[in-house]
Each structure stands twice: as C-alpha cells, then as structure tokens.
Amino acid sequence: MCQKDLIQPGLPLVLDYTLTMYFQQYWRDKRLAYAEIPLNLTLDNRVADQLWVPDTYFLNDKRSFVHGVTVKNRMIRLHPDGTVLYGLRITTTAACMMDLRRYPLDEQNCTLEIESYGYTTDDIEFYWKGGDRAVTGVTRIKLPQFSIVDYKLVSRNVVFSTGAYPRLSLSFKLKRNIGYFILQTYMPSVLITILSWVSFWINYDASAARVALGITTVLTMTTINTHLRETLPKIPYVKAIDMYLMGCFVFVFLALLEYAFVNYIFFGRGPQMQKKQAEKAQKANNERENFDGPKVNTCGNILLTTLETHNEVGGNDVETHNRSSSSSSSCAVFDSSGVLYRKPSGGREPGRLGPARDDQLKKTRLRRRSSQLRIKMPDLTNVNGIDRWSRIIFPFSFSLFNTIYWLYYVN
C-alpha cells in the first residue's frame, strides 16, 4: 500500500519531468506486533536497515535520490498491531512520452509508475490507501509553464516472462500555459511581420531603405526561429510553433521579393518591352501618314507637311515649315520666260485655311512628343499599383493565416 504527498514538481521542456514528494508505504508485519504499550512508536531511521521493507522502485525513473539534510529523510513508525509506516522524502526525474506536435498549445499526460522489483503477485500486492484520496497536495501546486487539469490513480498487474507483478500508476494531465510564448515568440513575430509591410509605403526608388528593411526583418525572424529551436529537444516532426514561425518568415520574405518584383518592373525587362512596343506604334503611325500621299491645293501646287528634324546632340527639335501661307490667297505660276510669280486665287477666302492647318500641326507635334515621353519613361502606374495591392493583400492573407492557425490548434 502506498500513499504520496506531492510537494512541487519541476517540469522543464524536455521529455522528462522532476517530482519531489513524500513517499509513504504501509504494510503489516505480525512479527512486530506488541500489546504492552498502547501507543505508536516512532523509531530511528537507522532501524529501517534491520527491518523488512518492500522492494519498490519507479519504473520510468531516470534519476532519484533520498534527501539527506540534516539526516537521511526517512521515517519509521510502528503500530501495536504490527503495521509499519515507512516514509521517504524523494526527488525523482521520470521519463514522460510527450507529444509536441501542438507545442506550445499542447496537453501532456505524464505518469509515475510504481512497481515491485522482485516480489510477484503471489508474494505481495499493491494498492492505493484511501482510494482517490491517496495523493494529496495536487491542487496546491503552482507551475510556471503548466496547469494540472486532472490526475488519476490506477492499480493493475503486469505480466512479464518472470511472472506477474503489481503496479501502481499516477497519471497527470497537464496543460501548457500560453502566456509566456505569446509574449516571447508570437507577439514579436507578428510585429516583425507587420514591420516588413512598411516598405509598401516607401517610394519605389528608395532602394537602400526598402532593401535594408526587408533584410533586417528576414534576419530577425531567422534569429527568433533559431533561438527557439535551441530550447527544444531534437524531434523529427513539425511543431505548431514551427508552423507559425515559418508562416511569418514566408510573409516577411515575400515582402522583400515584392520590392524585387517592383524593381524589375521599373528598371528591368518590362520598360524595354514597353519601349519596343512604343517604337513599333510610332513607326506604324509614320507609315500611315506617308501612305496618305501629298496634298495639292486649288492651284495644283503640292503642300509640304511639317518636316521635323530631331537633334540628337542638342536635344532640340528643329522644325522647318513650308506652310504655303500664300496658297490660300495666291498661286505660283510660271510664265513663258520661266519667271515665277504669284497669282491670287479667287476660289477661297484669304486666311480661312491657315488657322485650321496650324491646329493640325500643333496636334501632330504634341502626339509625337507624348510618344517620345512614353518611350523614355516607364509606366509608373503599374509600379505604384503593385505596392497599393500589396498593402491590401498581405494584411488580409496574414489575418486569414492567423485565423486558421488559432482555430485549428486551440480547438
């Protein structure tokens, strides 16, 4: 028969736990019964070396010791009917098969197995004294990382090749406290991810600022992930916190790639293709104008259109106009001697064709100059549009990711 009073367990983040307890065992030895004194006798702890004691051991024990300050913490109490109370103050580190797939939103079941090492069920039987009240002090335990949700006591016999042995089990159901991880891991990861979106509001030509911000956030997420892995055991599967940190890292990395894409659109292959398309369009316009053919006025003279010569060195446009301003009021005529003179035309009113022709020439020049500007400058609307869409898509996607993550792992 066993009874335990728990003092304070320490549960670090490894696949074991440490427990300090008062471990008390009761049994009856009729050879020690007495009737002369109707009192219980408390004996010196050294008497335990001369008495028979059960060969109890902890099945999943890794390290254990009996406290020895100032003397060895053992108690022997003898009752008149021969009942012996044997108490020890023990600290034991026991193995616990933790499943960390949902870490740190997980619940763990850890057990302490008590068994007889040499005596079989034919020689000895184990049971919990007091039933479910055999273990006391559980409700007073305060842990920094866990809360004890429930516990249960089990008594059973196990069969090995050498026989059947009695076994007692104490099972704890532990729920990890999430507060520490929210402050130390989740909140910094969320803030770093949001910080990476600041680059969407920085001008696209500020390369130094956007690249420095992107690289800084990526390195910070890498540092957080590396530090967390150092505190965890080497396990082969992916944990819940790994999924979250990887998701934050992907968002931060995509924010950096977004500027690379903007930079490629603004300075890369996009403007070159746009320039070629503009040149083809201008060439098609020129061919269309040439296809229209020369124009002839009422006197039969050919009207010369505007001749534009682009000065590549000076950057100025030199225009030579032969507008035949006199064509509306006079005609060029050669006499028999070959002398050229002008002759007024009577079919049109003077000054009627000049303003319309000037407006047409101005529109032509404006169209050509605007086409030249489109060739030299890329389309800034597309570049700014990428940043504007990123300001919406990234926060929305990250919010959706958090909603799915917390709903899945919390429930």
Report pLDDT digits (tens) over 327-363: 444 444 444 444 444 445 444 444 444 566 666 776 6
CA–CA distance, 136 with 185 (Å, rounded to integer): 35
For the chain, give the mean pLDDT: 79
The pLDDT score that the predictor gives to residue 276 is 72
Block residue for tokens 């520490």: 180
Pinpoint the alpha helices (H) of 18-159: none
For 287, list phi and psi in degrees, rounded to 5.
-65, -35
* Confidence (pTM): 0.65
**81: number of Cβ within 10 Å:** 12
Closest CA to 281 of 206, 375, 165: 375
DSSP 159-176: EETTEEEEEEEEEEEEEE
Report pLDDT digits (tens) over 235-280: 888 999 999 999 999 999 999 999 888 877 776 655 566 667 777 7
Report pLDDT digits (tens) over 26-37: 999 999 999 888
Closest CA to 224 of 188, 177, 178: 188
Closest CA to 263 of 309, 197, 208: 208
The pLDDT score that the predictor gives to residue 17 is 86
Closest CA to 172 of 154, 155, 151, 153: 151
Report pLDDT digits (tens) over 288-334: 666 554 554 555 544 444 444 444 444 444 344 444 444 444 444 44
Report pLDDT digits (tens) over 126-171: 999 988 889 988 888 888 888 899 999 999 999 999 999 999 999 9
